[in-house]
Structure 1
Amino acid sequence: MGLQDLLSFIEQYGYFALFFSLWLGIVGMPLPDEMIVMSGGFLSSLEKMSVIKAFILTYLGVVSGLSLGYILGKVFGHKILDKLVKKKNAKHLLKSKELIDRFGHFALVVSYFIPFVRHIIPYLVGMNNMSFKKYAMYSYTTGFVWTLIYFTLGLFFGKHMEYISALATRYGIYFGVFVAIIGCFYYFYIRKFKK
């Protein structure tokens, strides 16, 4: 499916096409999630969709798809992971494990900015019995920020979606680490301020 097919699909089926395209991303939609999210912003800029409705359903699609991965990891564990490794490259699994070893729970934050890895990390933390409350705290907050960034890029720079998506695929990890560092500073600053 190309960009024009995606835009036609979303125009034809509306808001729920945004939701289901992202929700199905966990099982391997052929387009990058960044491009799907930016499509919602782009079509909103053309007044083919309401900005608020498109953003909300886009965000819900992102977090529900990744939550499905968490639940599958928690319930089925290695059975799902084995199929995932066969379907996707094993290098993404190794990268995901390295992120968890290096960043712990913050791997959920950083992983949003790394294509493919963002879909594997929820399986792994689900398998490792992270509580859903903790998962939701990290994943849903970062998901909101991530969705807001790419939706806004689509809103203002939608004609350059393919180029932006290629940059995000190539350099997303650096952006993710930057966001994680800012988040840590903010968190510790708030804790210090409250004392």
Structure 2
Amino acid sequence: MFHLIRHILDQYGYIVLFVSLLLELLALPLPGEVLMSYCGFLVFSGQLNLYGSILSATGGVAVGITLSYLLGAKLGYPFFRKYGPRIHLSPERLDMTSRWFERYGNKLLLFAYFIPGVRHFTGYFSGITRIPYPAFALYSYLGALIWTSTFILLGRTLGPKWQEFEGAVSHYLVIGGAVLVVALLLFLLYRSYKQQIYAKIGQILEKALKALQSLGKLEALLLGLGLLFIVLSGLMIGFMTEYLEKDLIRFDTIVRYVVSALFGPEWTESMTFFTRLASVPALVGVTALAWVWIVVKGSDRVLETGFLLFTIVAGELLEESFHRFFHRVGSPSGLAPPEWGIPSEQSMVALYVYGSAVFLLMRHSRPKWIRPIASLALLVILLLTAISRIFLNIQLPSDIAAGMVLGGTWLLFNLILLEIFRRLRQIGSNNLTGNR
């Protein structure tokens, strides 16, 4: 079918793009991502205009998802439960997606487009669950712009390599979209059930404390189990990279090509500066500022200082262990040492150092606007350091990705332990007060 649509797209351009995406958002099985990336290739070859293509694609998606929203609101849940299987919408999928949308629907619209099989029904479920139209329009139209722009710009960036790389890159983007949606769902679930989660953790800790009859033993046990989990996670990632070596070589080739296509030689000076964001002086400075913030604003200065130091020192030892265990002979350029390993030290350390600092900043800041700004700043810094090291041919993209994954896991582990230890201190303090 794509070859037919591709032939028509060559002839009629924007109209075919608009209509095809409109129909796909009404749940017709059309190859939207491939179509948009091919449209980007036509932009590269000068046959279509970039802004006209994005406008046509976004317009088609917006009209399609709005029509599906209106149909969902008009026909309602019973109709789709009865006739849904005819359009591959089983009762089980209907029930599951309806429950999701009742709680998280409007926010999921931002990234649901990237997941095949999900985007086709988001409009219907938004209407069925009666999401207010202003909220629906804001998230769905913004998500449409992000989705269409991503694939059209991807096609333009790949240019002459479009046919060779398109399938693999689309696959990576689908995985990335799925990861974003899962992360968003977990975050929303945490926000919705935060009190219940803390209460349950408190009950478990109290039982464990009674069983061990020692706060120190319980803390040591939790720390040991957490470290074991991190070590096993790192080993799993390392073995996976060895097993998937051919796939990683292809991934590295594609990412390096995309970065070189997006950033020309004029970016060299800027990229050199961005690499310094992950240098030792920069990370030491960020750590010092985080410690000063603990001293000034912290509610439990000794505990938070200890965890900041443990996160950094133990994280460095952990990274060095993984680096020695999994290594690659040879590096992308003469800028790197003769042995370059998984994970990337700079990426891993930068993530948990900057991440710890941002967490402490957000935890001890009252204004709510600080949280989104600090989170965005963290993402920008990590992205710039990663791109700069790829651009300057210092490290392989797969090494950087592995470093990010391990750094994020290590950071999350330490933040969870910090809050558990904080809760244990409260339980211990309450027990002492009760005994008195």
Change (3 A) 1:7 1:178: farther
| CA deviation after TM superposition for structure 1 residue 16, in Å | 0.3
* Aligned residue number for residue 17 of structure 2: 18
Contact 1:37 1:151 in 2 (8 A): yes
How much does 1:126 deviate? 0.7
| Structure 2 residue 209 is matched with structure 1 residue 165 | no
AA matched with 2:170: S
Task: Provide structure 1 residue ranges, at least 5 long, that are not aligned to the other structure.
Answer: 182-187
> Residue deviations 1:5-31, cap 9 Å, x none?
332110112210000000011344433
Choose 31-40 or 161-170, whichever is displaced more: 161-170
Secondary structure of 1:112's aligned partner: helix
CA shift at 1:80, angstroms?
4.1
* Superposition deviation, residue 173 in structure 1: 0.9
The CA deviation at 1:123 is 0.9
Segment drifting more, 102-111 vs 33-42: 102-111
Query: Matched residues in 2 for 1:176 and 1:33: separation?
Result: 19
1:131 maps to what in 2? 132
TM-score (norm. length: structure 2): 0.39
Q: Which one is further off, 117-126 or 21-30? A: 21-30
Q: In 1, are the aligned partners of 2:25 and 2:68 still within 8 Å (CA)?
A: yes
Return the match for 2:179 from 174, 180, 184.
174
Cα distance in 2, alignment partners of residues 84 and 26 from structure 1: 15
1:109-124 matches, within 5 Å, as 109-124=110-125
Counterpart in the other structure of 2:84: 84
Instruction: Summarize the Cα distance change of 1:41–1:93 in structure 2 as closer, same or farther, 3 Å threshold.
Output: farther
Distance 1:145 1:169 in 2: 13
CA contact (8 A) 1:74 1:127 kept: yes
Q: TM-score, normalised by structure 1?
A: 0.80
- Alpha-carbon distance between aligned partners in 2 of 1:123 and 1:81, rounded to the nearest angstrom: 12
Range moving further from structure 2, 83-92 or 6-15: 83-92
| Matches of 2:185 and 2:48, distance apart in 1 | 32
The CA distance in 2 between the partners of 1:173 and 1:139, in whole Å, is 17
1:63 alignment partner AA: A
Q: Which residue of 2 aligns with 1:47?
A: 46
Query: Which residue identity lines up with residue 87 of structure 1 in the other structure?
Result: I
CA distance in 1, matches of 2:82, 2:57: 29
CA distance in 2, matches of 1:114, 1:95: 16
Alpha-carbon separation, structure 1, partners of 2:27 and 2:101: 22
Q: Distance in 2 between matches of 1:31 and 1:86?
A: 17
Report what 1:185 is aligned to.
Answer: none
Deviations 1:160-184 (Å, cap 9, x if unpaired)? 3233334444553114456889xxx
Instruction: Tell me which of the two structures has the higher relative contact order, counting C-alpha pairs closer than 8 angstroms and 6 or more residues apart.
Output: 1
